[in-house]
Amino acid sequence: MNLERLRALHAVATHGSISTAAQALCITSSAASQQLSKLEREMGNRLLERDGRGVRLTDAGRLLARHAEEILASVERARAEVERHRGTVHGALTIAAFATAVRGLIPDAVAQLSARYPALNVRVVEYDPDRALPELLRGAVDLVVNQYWPSKPFVLPDGLSGRTVLVDTVDLAVPSDHRLAGRGSVTVDDLHDERWISWPQGSSCHHWLRGVLRSHGIDPLIAHEAAEHPTQLALVAAGLGVGVVPRLGRGEVPASVRFLPFRPAVERHVQAVWRTGGDQRPAVHAALTALSAAPG
């Protein structure tokens, strides 16, 4: 049985349709359908059947999908055992991470790995989580650095495991002439009637910000949206609103911006994610150790 075809079947079982499975695997729906058709011919069984405008797994399909999950995890364990048998951390390792982590966490971690394990070739790519996790599932990357907010826990897809490597504190950013700029700290209840600078609508951070404010009876006025923290800070510096900015990878701060810690503290979790069983690979284990030890 071809592993990529088993991976396609497992994705359909996980996501519920060929189109969403194809998106998760970063391939076209046509390519996913072809993989599944070939798998049916290999097995000599119908694995999918029409269900209205979509598809569902047959009994044989559900049975094979359960085995596919075990097989894919077994492949990761086998690779780990072979690498451990060699007794060195070597080979290639690709880490995908969101922009702030690439700027504020990854450089120190990769520098540690390079100094300690010269036979390990680490490659870093900047991906948003909606691209990084599918790339991890299909084996194109080995480790993903993701983020989530405790008020909105992130549920990992089947076949992936993760752990928190950093708890990142978030502060309120205000113009230096703002009514709160002289405070030592603020609470969310201090923030009624503010104009907000937020992450773009549809992002998890935008959703989180709205949720936190609304839980305190604040219907936020989102005046401006920007994906990058330096852009958000430039808008704050111009007096166009207030925002919340994590400390990780914050970089240079405009002179006319003041940061105020929240009371109680507001935090997000930075999480490392790998294919289940993959943390037994020496290279992945070494990377997890370096990420946990790197200053954030």
How is residue 194 written in tokens? 């503010």
- Output the pLDDT for position 79: 75
pLDDT band, very low/low/confident/very high, at 86 (cuts 50, 70, 90) = low
Evaluate if residue 87 carries a pLDDT over 70: no
Angle (CA) 231 165 243, round 5°: 25
118 preceded by a cis bond (ω within 30 of 0): no
Evaluate if residue 85 carries a pLDDT over 70: no
Classify residue 154 as left (phi > 0), alpha (psi -120 to 50) or beta.
beta
- Output the pLDDT for position 175: 98
User: What does the mean pLDDT of the chain come to?
Assistant: 90
- Output the pLDDT for position 77: 78
CA dist 27 and 155 (Å) reads 23
How is residue 148 written in tokens? 């989530």
CA dist 94 and 124 (Å) reads 6
How is residue 296 written in tokens? 């954030």
Evaluate if residue 134 carries a pLDDT over 80: yes
Using one digit for the tens of pLDDT, what is the confidence trace for 202-231? Answer: 888 999 999 999 999 999 999 999 999 999
Using one digit for the tens of pLDDT, what is the confidence trace for 155-174? Answer: 887 788 999 999 999 999 99
CA dist 116 and 21 (Å) reads 38
Query: Considering only 72-81, 109-118, 277-286, which range has the smallest mean pLDDT?
Result: 72-81
Evaluate if residue 84 carries a pLDDT over 70: no
- Output the pLDDT for position 83: 66
Q: What is the pTM of this model?
A: 0.73
